[in-house]
Structure formats: C-alpha cells, structure tokens
Structure 1
Amino acid sequence: MSLPTVKAKLLEGRKGLIVGIANNRSIAWGCARAFRAFGAELAITYLNDKAKPYVEPLAGELEAAIFLPLDAAVPGQMEAVFERIAETWGELDFVVHSIAFSPKEALGGRVTDVPREGFLKTMDISCWSFIRMAQLAEPLMKRGGTLFTMTYHGSQVVVENYNIMGVAKAALESAVRYIAAELGPKGIRVHAISPGALATRAASGIPEFDALLEKTKVKSPTRELVDIDDVGVATAFLAHDAARLITGQVLYVDGGYHIID
C-alpha cells in the first residue's frame, strides 16, 4: 500500500510523539508518515548515536519539530523528551510507542527457562516503558488524546519462536485496558495495534521468521501481507475525533490472519 493523496488535513493542529523509528522499514515510520500526511506535527526520537544517521533524514522529511534520543533503558532520557515537548508545545495529542526488546538469551529459549534478568529486561522495555509514557503524557493531554502501542498475535496464542515476547505483549495489552479505564474520564483513549507479520529489523531477531511470513500470506483471508503504511493509516484514524468513543482496543491490521485456525 502507498499512502493516499490527502486533500483534507484531518489531524491538522494535532501534535504527537513517535517513538521507535529505526529505519524506513519500521512500523513507527509508517505511523509517522501517516500522521504527517494527515497534517499532524511530530516529535521524533532515535535510539542512540548509532541509530541517529538512519533516523535523522526521516525526521527531516517529516519536518519534525523535536528530534531527541530516547533509549528506554537509559534513566532520564524519556523524561527529557517529555520535558522538551512541554517547553516547545505545552501540550500533546497522541503518542505512538513502537519499541520492544528482549535479550537474545531470553527470547531464544523456552519461557519455562527464561532467566530472571532477561524476563525483567523484556518486561521493562516492552511493557513498563509504555506505562511510564502514559504517565508522562497524561498532564500534557489537556484536551484529551490517544496513546498507542504495538503488539502482536503471539500475545493471545502460542506462536513458535515468539516465546517470552508473547508473555510481554500479553502484559502490554492488559496494561492498555487498565490505562484506558483510568484515563478515559479525561478524554484520553488507549489502543494496542496488532499488525500482521512484517519484515522489520525487530522481527529479524525471531528465528525462522521468513517461514512465518509465508504462512501468514497463505492463511490470511486477504492473501496478502500488510505493510507499514497499512498500519500507519489505521493508527492515524484512531487519533481522529471520529474515533472518540473507541478505546481500550487491540486493533488487528493483519488481513484477517488472527481469525483463522
């Protein structure tokens, strides 16, 4: 899919933070492109100095007003990003959290055998970081807003080789529901977006991922794989006022794959 030609700037005047762009194949990049196409102003983060040369040109293409490092494992970096947003904009309308991590020794083995340290690191980056972002975003969402995070079908069923990340994503989806209930009275909506299998850098760490891609294409009712723009447009829609009474959802953007046994 390519982004549609947008004549109406449906999100014009909205301001949002996109976390998790690694390169032009990232799900976060698809989201950023869609939000920008619909007229939103963006703050973009990059993981570290190694990632910066890949992300900086993309942030320039988006005319990002804010461009800062954010490694959820580095104390203070997340807080610094939200402080800059408060100083620059004074408000925030949406956040896209598209980060997850599990150490190789934790992801590659059985859930039964996962080391405690690997489990805690997986949960910290993949789940708790979203909870912390919600906490930091709340006071800036003065007129309401929308919080998004990325999940995967392996949270609901056992997907071979997904292992401990499936456990973390299940916790993340539960957090989405609780945060939606807590922040709903303030007009803040919360969603988990569940894309089908995508050939991203993060997915490359999953063993036999190419086989999973082929299986997804064959079994999906639409008989095709989604791409990052499919995910981006669906996510951007949920930030619009037309979706103001939709919250606490796991939205599958997977060609219907999750409904097939």
Structure 2
Amino acid sequence: MTDTDDIPEEPVLLKDRTAIIYGAGGSVGGAIARAFAREGAVVHLAGRTAATLHAVADDIAARGGEAHPAVVDALDEAQVEAHAATVAERSGRLDISVNVISDQDVQGTPMVQMSVEDYLRPIEVAVRSKFLTARAAARRMIPRRSGVIMTFGGTFNWQVTRTFHVGGMGTTFDAVESMRRQLACELGPHGIRVLTLRTGGLPDTIPTDFPGSEGLRSWLQDQTLTGRTATLDDVGNLAAFAASDLARTITGAALNMTAGAVLD
C-alpha cells in the first residue's frame, strides 16, 4: 500500500451534502452552484427567472452533477419556507444555504440626487431576503446540529465612492455583515457556521453599460496587491472550501478574497 492509496482521484469536499443557492441563475450564484456540484453536493437552484436557473442546472447535469431548479422569490416568506421545507423533506437534510441574490441597487447617481426610495431599496431587499433565507435554513439545521449559512459581499471599501457613485450598496453590505455576526453568535451553539465571502469587486460581473465600467475594472485591479482580482472560478472554489469540513473551525468571519485590496 502506498501513501496515496487512501487519497481519492478527485477531491469531493461536499459529498452527500444538500445545498440551496438563492440567486443561482446569476453569474456568482451559478459559479458557486457549479463548484458545489463538482464537489459532490446536490444543489437546489433558487431564483426568480426559470430560464437562467434551468441553464445552470443543465450545465451541471452535463458535467455529471445533480441540480434542481425552482422559482422562488427570496423576498416572499411563504415561498422561502415552503421551498426549504420541501428540500429538507426530500433530501432528509439541509446542509448549506447561500444567498447571493441581487440587491437591486441604483448606482451611478450621487447620494444628494437620489430619492430615498432608491437609496433604501437595496438595504430593504438585502436584509429581508438574507433574514428569510437564513432563518429558513437554520430551522432545518438546528435539529441536526450542523450546517453552513453563507452570504456574499463583506465590509464595503468606501474608497470607491470617491470616484464611483454606488448608492446604498455600502450601507447594504454593512447591514448584512451585522446580521452575519449576530447569526453566528446565536447559531454557533447549534453547530451552525455563518460566513461571508468578502470580495473586492468582480470585474466579470460589471455590466458593459454601467457608467464608467472600464474605469471601474481598472480601479479594482489597481487596488489589489497581486495585480489580479478574483474570478468567478475563485468565488466557487472558496465557497466550496468554506462550506466543507476543512473549514469547520471558521465561523462569524468574512473570508477575504480581495487579493489584498482590503487588509484585515
């Protein structure tokens, strides 16, 4: 017997795990869903647009993974609860919940020119959706005394606002981080970990019609210490690690994937 006989040919970090990804039809959610499926998880893709969810599910199936798309409005309490209950009942477990839905922020307009509705909308969307999805997951995880709840964002880099108008995004990120800390404290005794994937910005996700998009991409890269920003593959890989038992000692934390743009 060699030293490598007990090492699987391909790592399977999330074998037999069941995960829900809210916003799975988007670029970030899709990247996380693909990484989870690659690592052995059964992934449930939740979102509001059936076509994009099915596209991700078909891609995962073509690669040999298992994915189940479902139209779910993460702002609707009844829909979130019903979907989480269905997933847990069918699988017998719910191990991972990830919420990366768009927070519907209005960008490109100075705060002094914004309406109060536009400024508050992303805050209200983020806090409501993250609360509902985290609560639904925790209710299924507590009896099993294990689970991982994950969001995407982190503490905002306010230097960006000197050049680019980001509306209520910064306040939104900070509100979600406060929720993450509170959930980690309350759910830790039940064996549930709560994490944030902290990004310095993903150039691949910036719409080409966003005002100053090229300048923003260059700015994001210039802020890093390594000269390169995170890619969507980086996001998926880090999420898979964070959700696995390899990261079992990490909770209440934001995992810094800013390439040094934000120093801890």
Unmatched 5+ stretches in structure 1: none
Change (3 A) 1:51 1:40: closer
3-state SS in 2 of match to 1:86: helix
Corresponding letter in the other structure for 1:10: L
Mapped pair 1:48 → 2:49:
yes
Q: Displacement, 1:114?
A: 4.2
Taking the aligned partners of 1:200 and 1:177, their CA distance within structure 2 comes to 29
Q: Kindly report which structure 2 residues correspond to 1:120-159, keeping only aligned pairs within 5 A, or say none.
A: 120-141=120-141, 142-152=144-154, 154=156, 157-159=159-161
Q: Which amino acid aligns with 2:176?
A: L
In the TM superposition, residue 42 of structure 1 has moved relative to its aligned partner by 0.9
Give the residue type in structure 2 aligned to 1:169: F
Residue 226 of structure 1 is matched in structure 2 by 230
Q: CA deviation at 1:13?
A: 1.2
Does the C-alpha gap of structure 1 residues 90 and 114 become closer, same or farther in structure 2, counting only changes over 3 Å?
farther
- Does the C-alpha gap of structure 1 residues 146 and 53 become closer, same or farther in structure 2, counting only changes over 3 Å? closer
Contact 1:32 1:232 in 2 (8 A): yes
Alignment partners' CA distance in 1, 2:168 and 2:145: 37
For these two proteins, the number of residue pairs brought into alignment is 252
Moved over 4 A (4+): 155-158, 200-206
Give the direction of change, closer, same or farther, for the CA distance of 1:124–1:7 in structure 2 (3 Å limit): same
Residue equivalent to 2:95: 93
Alignment partner of 1:241 is 2:240: no
User: Partners in 2 of 1:207 and 1:7 — Cα distance?
Assistant: 43
**What is the CA–CA distance in structure 2 between the aligned matches of 1:170 and 1:204, rounded to whole Å?**
26
Partner of 2:11: 8
TM-score normalised to the size of structure 1? 0.84
Q: 1:119 to 1:98 in 2, by over 3 A?
A: same
| Deviation of the 1:171 alpha carbon | 0.3
Would you say the 8 A contact 1:99–1:125 is kept in 2? no
- 5+ long unaligned stretches in structure 2: 1-7
- What is the alpha-carbon distance in structure 1 between the residues aligned to residue 75 and residue 243 of structure 2? 28
The superposition leaves residues 175-233 of structure 1 with CA deviations (integer Å, 9 ceiling, x where unpaired) of 10011111110011111112232235565675323212112223311111211111111
Counterparts of 1:103 and 1:216 in 2: how far apart (Å)? 19
Q: Which has the larger radius of gyration?
A: 2
Which of 21, 24, 29 is 2:24 aligned to?
21
Measure, in 1, the Cα distance between the counterparts of 2:16 and 2:188. 22
* CA 1:6–1:189: 2 relative to 1, 3 Å: farther
User: How far apart are the structure 1 equivalents of 2:36 and 2:54?
Assistant: 22
Distance in 1, matches of 2:250 and 2:97, equals: 16
